[in-house]
Structure 1
Amino acid sequence: MSDRAAEATALAPSAAWTLEEVRSVRHWNEHLFSFTISRPPSLRFRSGEFVMLGLEVDGRPLLRAYSIASPSYADELEFLSIKVADGKLTSRLQKIQPGDHIVLGRKPTGTLVADALLPGKRLFMLSTGTGLAPFLSLARDPEIYQAYSQILLVHCVRTVSDLAFREELESQLAGDPLVHDEALLQFHYLPTTTREPFATNGRIGALIDNGRLFRDLPHNEAHFDPEHDRIMMCGSMAMIKELKERFEGLGFVEGSRNVPGTYVIERAFAE
């Protein structure tokens, strides 16, 4: 067990957090990693939600918001994180190993949940960077396939190695025990890069403008319709600001858990 784990176990569980064990760690590249931890029996969450997560630093929990990448029925919790060399949390978090302990908040929340949107036919999940995480959760939730006839997940990153979980997503979730059959017919994945040659290049706004974003969908309806289309966005503030203005100009209305709409957003961030 590492020194970090010993430090974390010195912090006792409380009404606000639990201590969970790191089960696995995967480093996608020098800037990006994912990890799984044990799931406390008492934790209940909706696919798409985030939770506070972190480590003990100087005798106190240092927590940040992390979207849960695993579906709500999973036995373990999975997360996706960037690495920031001088980040207060990620400079430490990127060094975790199996057997270490993580401080986990007890109250998941968030707006990227199914009932924050009005009923529709097509669901567009638009992400940049680690904003992919909540959509990994939603894409493996059977309820989404019952609610929408077509689901498109777009993941925009700088380089090809930033396309975390690409193999699983390109397979249309092959082998997933609960959604594989539905995903073969309803799920579409569009990875795109902005700083390295790849099959698809360009930011999400550019893919909308040139029609590439719609190309793999049935019937090739190359436009957004607020009557039938629903949109979720997670990622950089620049992406959210640009697309939020675009969609509102088309008549889309932002939703929330209390008042459903035709699009919802969540910022992805870490330090």
Structure 2
Amino acid sequence: MTDALAAPPPPRPAAHHELSVLWVRHWTDQLFSFAVERPEDFRFRSGEFVMIGLPGEDGGKPILRAYSVASPGWAEELEFFSIKVPDGPLTSRLQKIQPGDRVLMGKKPTGTLVLDALTGGERLHLIGTGTGLAPWLSVARDPETYARFGRVIVSHTVRQVADLAYREFFAGGIHEDPLIGDEARAQLTYYPTVTREAFPTPGRITDRIRSGDYFRDLGLPEGFDPAQDRVMLCGSMAMIKDTAALLDGFGLKEGSNAEPADYVLERAFVG
């Protein structure tokens, strides 16, 4: 057999899924959510992130950024929660997508904001700022979360009241979820705070933890207990570093997929 008759090499698999946008919701002029179709072979753990992006302009290299999947692991569509950066290489274009448009998604989800990275406990604190709420939308809709923890607290800190995207969902809509609605009604507490406008629970979450207001508002013993409390952190670098230092001070230890422990944070978004 000559080289001319040899079978051609198989085509290289595409590096990314190219997926159709199902819906888009603009919360404010700085925040929006969107969902894409879920590939049949895409599997992920609630709380993981994946690369999302668009083809480069004029045929250039694709522009991709890490996005937490805001859908639970069982969902039939993949939801994402994003900021809008006017001059951002990706979000300046991504914010303009419409249903039917196509976006790119990586094939390998990963991350540490997963239940597997925590040891057992009684209370799970999901602390996020801004779009750092996204993984909590996934974790809070996972039945395993309620099987492992007696109480689940979703904390969301933003600058303006209008930035409390998903407020109505966490305050009541999640109770209608056909899979975990009853559990959420009995076990989930939503704890929003606002830093730049009047609000019943004002200020940074770190300040409310230091003052003890966080615990008093929630009817909890003051301070985090390494025997009972497990914590996940996602959001601004300042919040994550400050809260991690507070948790260390209470005696909690940082965990990972390789060594589960008392709290986890997502270093992919910290830099």
Return the TM-score normalized by structure 2: 0.91
Structure 2 distance, partners of 1:108, 1:43, is: 9
Structure 1 distance, partners of 2:187, 2:213, is: 18
Structure 1 distance, partners of 2:94, 2:32, is: 10
Of all paired residues, the percent bearing the same amino acid is 56
Report if the CA contact (8 A) 2:118-2:260 is conserved: yes
What's the counterpart of residue 238 of structure 1?
Answer: 238
1:5-20 equivalence runs, <5 A = 14-20=13-19
- Where in structure 2 are there 5+ consecutive unaligned residues? 1-10
- Where in structure 1 are there 5+ consecutive unaligned residues? 1-11
Please report how far the alpha carbon of residue 16 of structure 1 lies from its aligned counterpart in structure 2 after TM superposition: 2.3
| Cα-Cα RMSD | 1.7
Please report how far the alpha carbon of residue 209 of structure 1 lies from its aligned counterpart in structure 2 after TM superposition: 2.5
What's the counterpart of residue 9 of structure 1?
Answer: none
What's the counterpart of residue 38 of structure 1?
Answer: 37
Is 1:190 equivalent to 2:191 in the alignment? yes
Structure 1 segments of 4+ aligned residues over 3 angstroms from their partners: 12-15, 215-218, 267-270
Please report how far the alpha carbon of residue 244 of structure 1 lies from its aligned counterpart in structure 2 after TM superposition: 1.0
Distance 1:185 1:216, change over 3 A: farther
Please report how far the alpha carbon of residue 137 of structure 1 lies from its aligned counterpart in structure 2 after TM superposition: 0.3
Report if the CA contact (8 A) 1:237-1:267 is conserved: no
1:113-262 equivalence runs, <5 A = 113-171=114-172, 173-217=174-218, 220-262=220-262
Distance 1:213 1:133, change over 3 A: same
Report if the CA contact (8 A) 2:223-2:250 is conserved: no
Return the TM-score normalized by structure 1: 0.91
What's the counterpart of residue 50 of structure 2?
Answer: 51
Please report how far the alpha carbon of residue 185 of structure 1 lies from its aligned counterpart in structure 2 after TM superposition: 1.1
Partner-residue secondary structure (3-state), 1:29: coil
Distance 1:27 1:267, change over 3 A: farther
Please report how far the alpha carbon of residue 173 of structure 1 lies from its aligned counterpart in structure 2 after TM superposition: 1.1
What's the counterpart of residue 4 of structure 2?
Answer: none
Structure 2 distance, partners of 1:210, 1:216, is: 11
Structure 2 distance, partners of 1:76, 1:50, is: 15
Deviation sequence 1:76-104 (CA, Å, 0-9, x none): 00000000011000000000000000101
Please report how far the alpha carbon of residue 223 of structure 1 lies from its aligned counterpart in structure 2 after TM superposition: 1.7
Report if the CA contact (8 A) 1:23-1:99 is conserved: yes
- Look at both structures and tell me which one has the larger radius of gyration over its CA atoms: 2
Distance 1:98 1:242, change over 3 A: same
